[in-house]
């Protein structure tokens, strides 16, 4: 167990950041599934814009890798264009 006051604070802040990152990542995965399951092209394009924004925020904060975001965006765009 940590003995210093600053180390205790760091443990608390790391846990809070971890929970926030998990929530954002899980929410983004849910939106990706919504885009993949949609059958209406107009609806899918609206969802796509929101999903891209969420994925860019995750990549900016290094929650997921920027190349993975690029691959996901590419595959989702191809899916929506094929509708």
Would you state the pLDDT for residue 70? 96
- Please state the domain count of the chain: 1
43: domain CATH number is 1.20.58.110
Q: What is the pLDDT of residues 29-83, one digit of tens each?
A: 999 999 999 999 999 999 999 999 999 999 999 999 999 999 999 999 999 999 8
Task: Tell me if 72 sits within 8 A of 55, measured CB to CB.
Answer: yes
Cβ-Cβ contacts under 8 Å for 59 (sequence gap 6 or more): 65, 66, 68, 69
Q: Which two tokens stand for residue 80?
A: 């929506």
Domain interval for residue 19:
5-82
- DSSP helix/strand/coil, 63: coil
Q: Quote the pTM value.
A: 0.82
Angstrom distance (rounded) from CA 55 to CA 66: 9
The mean per-residue pLDDT over the stretch 19-32 comes to: 96
């Amino acid at each position: 167990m940590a003995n210093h006051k600053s180390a205790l604070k760091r443990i608390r802040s790391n846990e809070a950041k971890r929970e926030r990152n998990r929530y954002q990542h899980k929410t983004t995965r849910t939106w990706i599934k919504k885009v993949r399951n949609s059958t209406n092209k107009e609806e899918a394009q609206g969802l796509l814009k929101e999903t891209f924004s969420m994925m860019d925020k995750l990549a900016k904060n290094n929650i997921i890798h920027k190349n993975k975001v690029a691959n996901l965006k590419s595959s989702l765009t191809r899916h929506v264009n094929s509708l």
